[in-house]
Amino acid sequence: MIRIVTKKRLALLEADTAAAFERAQRAKETALLDAARHAAALAEVTERAERAEATTDEVGAILSTAMKELSAAQQDLLLKEIELRRLRDDLAEALAAGRDVHVLLHYGTPVMVYRSREDAYADTATHGVPADVTWKPTGQRFWADTEWFVTTFTYDADARGFRGVLEPVAEPVRGAA
């Protein structure tokens, strides 16, 4: 088949070709703009993901530290609960009728309360009193005149408190036969 192409037909084909090239150029530019926008959006999303990952790592480190601190606080609380329970038991035992406590005095000022006289004597060694010192009764002197003195208090359930126990010093009574 032979086809005869006229100038008019050739001009129409050239116009169609130019229009097609122009449409292709516009499509290419639109595609490049869309690609640039997508690349910018991808970069922004990537940056946000990296920031989120860094924040997650930071929050993980903070959480790890907080968990360690919580564990230490729980252990401390447990130890304090045990100590509190022991102190309550000691208090209940101390409030038993007839229970004695011994108070260590330094020039009349209470230093500490002990369960036994021996514990009180032993504590004076931490304050510089020789461990082998012989303890003697104070006689008729006031407590404030004695450097170290241990006195006994007994729990009186009726009075709901402790009463001091004075230990008399054997002294001859004048005029007694």
Predicted local confidence at residue 139, as pLDDT: 57
Mean pLDDT, rounded, of the chain: 80
6-51 per-position pLDDT tens digit: 888 889 989 999 999 999 999 999 999 999 999 999 999 999 999 9
Percent of the chain with pLDDT over 70: 80
50-104 per-position pLDDT tens digit: 999 999 999 999 999 999 999 999 999 999 999 888 888 877 776 665 677 788 7
Q: What whole-number distance in Å separates Cα of residue 16 and Cα of residue 99?
A: 118
Burial class for 146, CB neighbours closer than 10 Å (0-12, 13-18, 19+): middle
pTM (predicted TM-score): 0.39
Predicted local confidence at residue 122, as pLDDT: 77
